[in-house]
Chains A and B, each alone.
Chain A
Amino acid sequence: MKILYYHWMENACSDCVASMREQGHDVEIYSEKMENYTRDPAFLEKISRKLREGYDGIFSFNYFPLLSEAAQEAEIIYFCWVYDSPNLTLESQTLNNPCNRVCLFDYGLYEHYRQQGVETVDYLPLPCAVHRLDQLLASERGYRYDMSFVGRLYDDSYNFYRQIGYLPEDMRGYLEGIIAAQLQVYGMDFPSVLMTDEFCERMGEYVKADLGEGYLDCRAELLRHMVRKEVTARERLELLKMLGEYAASCPSERRVDLFSDASSELRGVNLRGIVENREGMPKVFRGSRINYNFTLRSIRTGIPLRVVDILGAGGFCITNYQAELAEYFQNGVELVWFEDREDLMAKTDYYLSHESERERIAAAGHEAVANSFTYEQLLPKILRI
């Protein structure tokens, strides 16, 4: 198949393209910038001209309405693999275009769209370039870190919940109640049931949330995402604080290494800054006794890319519970999930001191990902006509 691969800021480009080529596809990388996700006549014209060279399909990670439009016009397929959640461009009017073949890694989200009658979406977990990582890490030995977390803390200017100016007190209290409760519970998303459309309607009078032209009206969902992100921000900070305190008071002198954009000092936590994705991050995963994943609360049931990344690098992973984990893995066999804070601390303490068990689990996790989550296995499931 002749594929035009649309490259933007995503890290997975070279792994994905290499695998496509290995599978016999003729792939050309195209990285023309878009001015705007829904309306950019100049871009559309350029890509349409490009497509006249004769392609069977366009491919991109995450969803781009303009690519769908171009594919629709050229009567070819738009293959799309979404790894962000939320990926707000999915709310575009174009999602229903018959040319689309959109794969979502979150079964809950997939179901959501299917229930809305969208037939262009499919479900597919996220991939890992296990073979490249195996080569990259072949000579890595020993541990450089005890407990690592790679990820954002969401305490930046994109945390819109914290920028809400005025909200009536009863609504603010209600939201704080939802957040407090959500911090206690995994596997059940409170915003989707407790922030009803009526509530969001009222909230929308005070909080601007609108994607603008070309999108469905998804104000309610934007407001819910705002709350989900705030829950994640508080949770990550709280859990890192707890882990840091634990590390600092551990008799065997442990430490937490935080690879993030974070700037606030936490006891027992080394701030390491953002780590480069292709080589730096896998080395962190392999070189850490424990790698944590605290899923962004917008992900309903899916396995986040971070978990696949950790396992693929042969790292030992402790994560919060996500429904789909239980479909692919067993707790304590390929990775470990915790149910609440107490459980997280108990498992951290246990696995820090049970080295061989931990290494056995990491090896099993690596094998599981090598067996079912590689590009070789997953790509053909998208690239079907």
Chain B
Amino acid sequence: MRVIIIDWNSYGNESMKALMHRKGYHVATCAYDEHLSREEREAQVKRLSRILEEDGADYVFSYNYFPPVSEACQEKGVPYLAWVYDSPYMNIYSHTVLNPVNRIFVFDYGVYEEFEQNGIQTIHYLPLGVDAAHFEKKASLPAPDCDICFVGSLYSESKHRIYDRFKDIDPYTHGYLDGIMEAQKHIYGVNFLEGLITPEAEAQMQKAYPCNPNADTVMTPARIYSQFVLSRQVTAMERKEILMMLGERFSDRRLHLYTNDAALRIPGIQNKGPVDYYDGMPAVFSHARINLNITLRSILTGIPLRALDILGSGGFLLSNYQAELEEYFRPGEDFVFYEDYEDLMNKAEYYLSHEKERAETAENGCWKVRTEHSLEGRLTEMEKYLS
């Protein structure tokens, strides 16, 4: 099999390359970086086209989905397998998703369903997976021991604090948005934010932070605001509130936060700054007694990558409710759900003092992820769509 991997700084890229090598594929890489200038990107796509032209390929693979890559593949008639791990993800609302060469995989069934209902046949559903061997190796490296650990963004850097730009919109709309976000914070399993953005609220947001979807996307402003601004803001508030509450309630415990914003301070929590996803994170999880997953609210039903990372590292997972976690894993046996803040505190308390149960749960979850949710199995699934 000849495969071209679109090389960018994605999670899992190295694992995928290694897997394909193990399978004896002929793997070529082709760089593509969305953050580069248009000229540079065009040069990268040209290079891809040239390789496709000269050497050919059975398929092109990328984590996430890139419209120009799809166009190049479409031109040469080569299948494009794209596995999307971000949600929300603007590029899958591009008109290019309709290109018949595409086999795009989204991990959130809720997102898949929406495309499916619109008759789009190039988007499929596939949960994310873990590189079992890699996690096993990295999880045994040294890392600081702690009681409760959270790895993730609090969206505290100014580039993430988009909601702050709405501080001067009319007070009624600001109050309204606060109201629906506070309500959403208490509800898991349903995201009602988009449906509650009234035309007036949208107009106000447009004034403060204009979003003009370009011609290539079918994402509406209401969706963009709800997914990229409001859902993120709800998640930011939620993560911060939970950490503050933990800091207070478990002041005698070691609570570690790994996040890009190294300057962020939360009483009772040790901010350890960023951790390298590939080399450092698995050991962080395996050395924490409890690992939290607080899902980004734009993910509807899917299992976020973070939850799988935790389980794959042999860490004990305490997560908010997500429908698909319940579908693939046994709550209370492979991992544990919390229903609200109070429940989270009680369960953290419980599992910190029930070591045997905690360790068994982590072990069950780890075994299940490594055997049933391996990268290998997922690649086989994706390749089924080649024919």
Look across to chain A and name the residue whose beta carbon is closest to the beta carbon of B195.
Answer: A184
The DSSP consensus for interface residues of chain A is helix
Contacts of A182 in B (CB 8 A): 183
Interface members, chain B 167-217 (any A CB < 8 Å): 170-184, 186-187, 190, 192, 195-196
Interface members, chain B 46-93 (any A CB < 8 Å): none
Look across to chain B and name the residue whose beta carbon is closest to the beta carbon of A184.
Answer: B192
Contacts of B174 in A (CB 8 A): 170, 173
Pick from B170, B177, B182, B196: contact of A184, CB below 8 A: B196
| A169 B170 Cβ-Cβ under 8 A | yes
Interface members, chain A 145-182 (any B CB < 8 Å): 168-178, 180-182
Look across to chain B and name the residue whose beta carbon is closest to the beta carbon of A173.
Answer: B175
A168, A170, A172, A193: residue with the most chain B Cβ atoms closer than 10 Å: A170
Number of A-B contacts (CB under 8 A): 75
| A180 B180 Cβ-Cβ under 8 A | yes
Contacts of A180 in B (CB 8 A): 176, 179-180, 196
| B187 A188 Cβ-Cβ under 8 A | yes
Contacts of B195 in A (CB 8 A): 184
Nearest Cβ on chain B to A126's Cβ, whole angstroms? 28
| B171 A169 Cβ-Cβ under 8 A | yes
| A181 B176 Cβ-Cβ under 8 A | no
Contacts of A172 in B (CB 8 A): 172, 175
Encode A174-204 as 1/0 by CB contact (under 8 A) with B: 1111101110110010100110000000000
Contacts of B183 in A (CB 8 A): 177-178, 181-182, 185, 190, 194
Tell me the complex Cα distance, A45–B203, Å: 64
Look across to chain A and name the residue whose beta carbon is closest to the beta carbon of B193.
Answer: A181
Q: A181-B183, A190-B183, A194-B179 are in contact. Are A173 and B192 (CB under 8 A)?
A: no
Pick from B170, B171, B173, B196: contact of A181, CB below 8 A: B196
Contacts of A173 in B (CB 8 A): 171-179
Q: A169-B170, A188-B186, A188-B187 are in contact. Are A181 and B180 (CB under 8 A)?
A: yes
Contacts of B196 in A (CB 8 A): 177, 180-181, 184
Tell me the complex Cα distance, A171–B175, Å: 6
B173, B174, B182, B187: residue with the most chain A Cβ atoms closer than 10 Å: B182
Nearest Cβ on chain B to A384's Cβ, whole angstroms? 34
Contacts of B172 in A (CB 8 A): 169-170, 172-173, 176
Pick from A176, A185, A194: contact of B176, CB below 8 A: A176
Nearest Cβ on chain A to B163's Cβ, whole angstroms? 14
Contacts of B187 in A (CB 8 A): 185, 188
Tell me the complex Cα distance, A300–B192, Å: 21
Look across to chain A and name the residue whose beta carbon is closest to the beta carbon of B192.
Answer: A184
Nearest Cβ on chain A to B74's Cβ, whole angstroms? 37
Look across to chain A and name the residue whose beta carbon is closest to the beta carbon of B175.
Answer: A173
Tell me the complex Cα distance, A288–B56, Å: 69
Nearest Cβ on chain B to A196's Cβ, whole angstroms? 10
Nearest Cβ on chain B to A171's Cβ, whole angstroms? 6
Contacts of B171 in A (CB 8 A): 168-170, 173
Tell me the complex Cα distance, A182–B173, Å: 17
| A176 B190 Cβ-Cβ under 8 A | no
| B192 A181 Cβ-Cβ under 8 A | yes
Pick from A177, A184, A190: contact of B178, CB below 8 A: A177
Contacts of A169 in B (CB 8 A): 170-172, 175
Encode B142-177 as 1/0 by CB contact (under 8 A) with A: 000000000000000000000000000011111111
Q: A188-B187, A190-B183, A194-B183 are in contact. Are A174 and B192 (CB under 8 A)?
A: no
Contacts of A177 in B (CB 8 A): 175-183, 196
Pick from A168, A185, A194: contact of B192, CB below 8 A: A185
| A178 B190 Cβ-Cβ under 8 A | no
Tell me the complex Cα distance, A190–B196, Å: 15
Nearest Cβ on chain A to B332's Cβ, whole angstroms? 20
Contacts of B182 in A (CB 8 A): 177-178, 190, 194
Look across to chain B and name the residue whose beta carbon is closest to the beta carbon of A193.
Answer: B186
Encode B100-111 as 1/0 by CB contact (under 8 A) with A: 000000000000
Contacts of A188 in B (CB 8 A): 186-187
Q: A169-B170, A169-B172 are in contact. Are A178 and B179 (CB under 8 A)?
A: yes
Contacts of A194 in B (CB 8 A): 179, 182-183, 186
Nearest Cβ on chain B to A12's Cβ, whole angstroms? 36
Tell me the complex Cα distance, A107–B116, Å: 42
4 A-B pairs closest in CB distance: A177-B179, A173-B175, A181-B183, A174-B175
9 A-B Cβ contacts within 8 A?
A169-B171, A177-B179, A177-B180, A178-B179, A178-B182, A180-B180, A181-B179, A184-B190, A184-B195
10 further contact pairs, Cβ within 8 A, besides A170-B178, A185-B190: A173-B172, A176-B179, A177-B176, A177-B179, A181-B184, A181-B192, A182-B183, A184-B192, A188-B186, A190-B186
